[in-house]
């Protein structure tokens, strides 16, 4: 009996050792990430306006902000591979990245840090509770005294703060390990509901979604998490009140930094042009969605990581998107003579363009950025408020590899519909163009003019 017990003990011990080896296998495999020669540095800077400016995102607002519910931040993540190739990702708790802002920061990065254009990625969280970044009024006489001056003063401060933040991140480059992980969060829902009168801005539980939460984890040589870059494809629009706030994306970053001291948490918007957080409307719901997203990131950290071995390869290309033929001059004059409306103001804007330039613009120069982390991860950054079809299609056509598709990057000028959305019509298809200075809508060629070069860039041979 004693001999049988002894043999059983030996068997159990051998089984325990084998089990321990199996459990340790992923950690051993992922150790390759620490041998890839990466360096990383992160920094954050507060960009909450010092005065109660007008807010961006909703045309219905009638007054400036009245307080601060949560501070806004600019954050920078600097990465360098073993060959000295660099990438800087900047995330902003703002409604957009105006092209003028991107151009200024880019010039400063080239001059001060020798950072190439294709090695700078700027992304906006698209909170609608941030400051106005450019005067959107069609008639200067409608702008309150001092509003334009306040906008420009803030922009000057913002430009300087972002460049300083990038410099700090680059100055903190130190040996690091990079891992890619992902999970899911379920509060994003398609917001294009079909009705008898077209597509309404309302929850559509049967519409397409992309609820993946991609995560890039940066750990130092002591295995401490130093930065978390994570994304989600959903409008950052739980709130519409008169207080500055990062909305759900801001709360998700806040919760992760509170739970992981010493970590810089950064949110990168995905293809959420036709997605909304539901339910919505209160700060309690914004906190709830932020908690849900932060929990998804923490869940991703529990999975087996994919270590990124490098090298870095960055690419940038600009393509010309075609607009649909604009109204004739006579048609614009007819609209302009009508009752005050968004259509009337837009017609006046196009008539001004016609008088000044002799024509109405027919194309828009659209930036596409692709970053390869060796063969392990492809990060695609698209400009504008891109609908979810682009993310779903790119992931399907690049199946077999890890693909992360961000939108709201480098130039947030308006909506980018797919061919499907364009044919269906509605706000994202062209209705939103009435609130800006572009002729709109885009021509049916818009999807292929973006997808084709993006796939070419994503599929090219790695160095």
Cis peptide before 270 (omega within 30 of 0): no
Those residues with Cβ within 8 angstroms of residue 59's Cβ, 6 or more apart along the chain or in another chain: 136, 342, 435
Q: What distance in Å separates the CA atoms of residue 441 and residue 82, rounded to the nearest whole number?
A: 45
CA proximity to 458, closest of 379, 392, 365, 367: 379
Report how far Cα 312 is from the mean position of its chain's Cα atoms: 20
Q: What is the pTM of this model?
A: 0.91
Residue 344, helix vs strand vs coil? helix
Q: The tokens of 278 are what? A: 């539901």
In this prediction, the residues of the chain whose per-residue pLDDT falls under 50 are 1-33, 136-141, 463
pLDDT tens-place string over residues 104-141 = 999 999 999 999 999 999 999 999 999 998 754 334 44
Residue 188, helix vs strand vs coil? strand
pLDDT of residue 35: 66
For residue 359, the cross-strand partners are none
Residue 13 burial (C-beta neighbours within 10 Å; 0-12, 13-18, 19+): exposed
Q: What distance in Å separates the CA atoms of residue 101 and residue 96, rounded to the nearest whole number?
A: 10
pLDDT of residue 142: 52
pLDDT of residue 144: 67
Cis peptide before 279 (omega within 30 of 0): yes
Residue 276, helix vs strand vs coil? strand
């Amino acid at each position: 009996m004693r001999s049988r017990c002894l043999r059983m003990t030996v068997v159990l011990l051998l089984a325990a050792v084998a089990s321990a080896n199996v459990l340790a296998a992923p950690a051993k495999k992922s150790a390759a990430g620490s041998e890839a020669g990466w360096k990383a540095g992160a920094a954050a800077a507060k960009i909450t306006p010092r005065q109660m400016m007008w807010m961006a995102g909703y045309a219905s607002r009638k007054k400036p902000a009245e307080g601060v519910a949560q501070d806004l931040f600019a954050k920078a993540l600097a990465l360098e591979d073993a060959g000295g190739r660099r990438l800087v990702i900047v995330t902003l708790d703002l409604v957009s990245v105006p092209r003028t802002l991107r151009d200024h920061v880019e010039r400063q990065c080239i001059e001060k840090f020798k950072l190439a254009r294709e090695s700078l990625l700027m992304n906006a969280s698209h909170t609608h509770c941030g400051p106005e970044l450019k005067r959107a009024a069609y008639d200067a006489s409608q702008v309150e005294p001092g509003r334009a001056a306040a906008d420009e003063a803030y922009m000057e401060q913002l430009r300087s703060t972002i460049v300083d933040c990038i410099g700090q991140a680059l100055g903190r480059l130190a040996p690091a390990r990079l891992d890619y992980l992902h999970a899911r969060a379920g509060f994003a829902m398609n917001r294009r509901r079909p009705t008898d009168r077209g597509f309404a801005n309302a929850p559509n539980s049967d519409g397409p979604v992309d609820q993946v939460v991609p995560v890039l984890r940066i750990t130092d040589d002591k295995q401490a998490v130093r930065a978390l870059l994570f994304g989600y494809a959903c409008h950052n629009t739980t709130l519409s009140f008169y207080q500055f706030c990062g909305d759900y994306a801001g709360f998700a970053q806040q919760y992760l930094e509170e739970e992981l001291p010493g970590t810089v948490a950064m949110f990168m918007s995905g293809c959420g042009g036709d997605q909304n957080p539901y339910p919505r409307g209160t700060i309690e719901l914004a906190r709830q969605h932020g908690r849900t997203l932060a929990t998804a990131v923490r869940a991703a950290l529990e999975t087996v990581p994919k270590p990124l071995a490098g090298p870095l390869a960055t690419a940038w290309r600009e393509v010309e998107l075609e607009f649909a033929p604009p109204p004739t001059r006579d048609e614009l004059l007819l609209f302009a003579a009508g009752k005050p409306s968004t259509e009337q103001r837009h017609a006046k804007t196009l008539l001004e363009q016609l008088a000044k330039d002799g024509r109405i613009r027919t194309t828009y120069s659209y930036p596409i950025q692709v970053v390869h982390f060796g063969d392990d991860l492809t990060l695609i950054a698209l400009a504008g408020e891109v609908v979810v079809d682009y993310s779903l299609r790119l992931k399907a056509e690049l199946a077999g590899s890890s693909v992360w598709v961000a939108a709201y990057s480098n130039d947030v000028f308006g909506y980018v519909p797919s061919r499907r959305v364009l044919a269906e019509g509605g706000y994202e298809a062209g209705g939103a163009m009435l609130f800006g200075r572009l002729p709109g809508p885009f021509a049916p060629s818009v999807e292929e003019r973006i997808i084709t070069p993006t796939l070419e860039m994503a599929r090219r041979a790695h160095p």
